[in-house]
Structure 1
């Protein structure tokens, strides 16, 4: 810290913060021009996304509601700061909303680094009636609009692996994964289970494949493995691919989209499986039941949705190296 820099000051310059304001205005215009409704949903909820690699910030109910819960079934339960507004936004879809977007804060425990901050800004949108291809098309329109480009490429997850690593992610052996990591100088010593295919795929994707994606122009990667479906539908004709798609620009993952899962029984099964993985990883399980499951049992309409990190987007647009360059007060100055 220089002698003229004080900790009360923002890490992002005022010029960058003006660019941030303009970007947010531009994003709102994009969706409002397409008749999307801007919505707001709770940041604090008893529900949370159940994900193997995302840990929510827990808040004791006794710190939220005076006297604690009046429902003996809850006890002094946890609330969660939301890792994404997904659950609540889908509850709106199940209640009759059709095209919605939200720009809000999201929180993920332990995520700090050059591209991460525990508190960050999320853009999320959903449109009823969109399938995988329409979801990809809307994301491509958004990328063209924001980056002022004429081309957004698409490539399958398999083809991206083959092009960069030279192996098929769906059929390669653990030994081939290990050899690819060794050849590319990727450290594998942090694995909890070196026989877990998804751990190898995530490592190779993040360390070897991602840096090569979207360098010439934005690219959307689709047809992910079913083991990484999260809340995406599984392709019904082959059960090999999840209808998931992600946007990359200059080697940075910016957005994650799904042709959304509609089956509450399947979601509950996935939640149970993810919790087994979390426990095996030494991480606490998360609630299986949620108001999203209740909404899905009532009837969630067919739709596609996308979540995008605003801070990373601005980093890429302005060619900044750290998330602290595009937000006023990262966690070490919060």
Structure 2
């Protein structure tokens, strides 16, 4: 059996599809702007429809729109002709995807959508097709060739359609001012939700669990507090509980190296006067990044008056699944 050159075949496919995607740059014109404005002004939802491979891409585009601030859902055109058209309202906008622009299942729906006064955005490879002509905005997804050597399996065309859908979704995301927190509310499950929603206040140790010593406390007392609380550090505060500094295991090692008398040395002479603090509203993921950058394992949580209200340890964040 002659060995087939799989690498060359794969590279040819990648090159053809990369060219199809690159060609889209010249297609982002007034029609793209019109499509974005239609979705932004829509009082209902964006309904995405397509058949066959275009249907698979349509499902993904609908999901991307929905997760980035543009309420959307997929409707199968065949099912729409048998009752699911009732899911579409006059306040909606439809994105209809068909590379030929003449798919019978899509074309059947067009008079009904027009009768309802529902605006249509088309994604086709033929501007002068039935779908391309009837739409209020047309997005050109034509390709020079499919990667399939038989020119039968949709390959380059589906890739171009997917990228055009992503371009539309992200343009709308930015136009809406959609934030990471907004994104989190549509992705509450799993590691992504924990990363975007979990805040320091949700996992910090507060109240009596916070290690505290006075500035005039001897090092020996600080060591007892550090051992009891188990964070490898203690806050140093004044009589008003204002944060003055921090003393850590690392500071202890440096003090011993310098020959400090553990029984006599006072915390005010040993503490770090510029501790890094975070607020209780800080994202846990952001707190973890600070710890990693500074090579520390715990952070003091402070309030507006610079009083310690909590301590968050790296282990707390990792246990919460923020990675």
| TM-score, normalising length: structure 2 | 0.22
Higher strand fraction: Structure 1 or Structure 2? Answer: 1
* Higher relative contact order structure (alpha carbons within 8 Å, sequence separation ≥ 6): 1
Name the larger-Rg structure: 2
Higher helix fraction: Structure 1 or Structure 2? Answer: 2
| TM-score, normalising length: structure 1 | 0.22
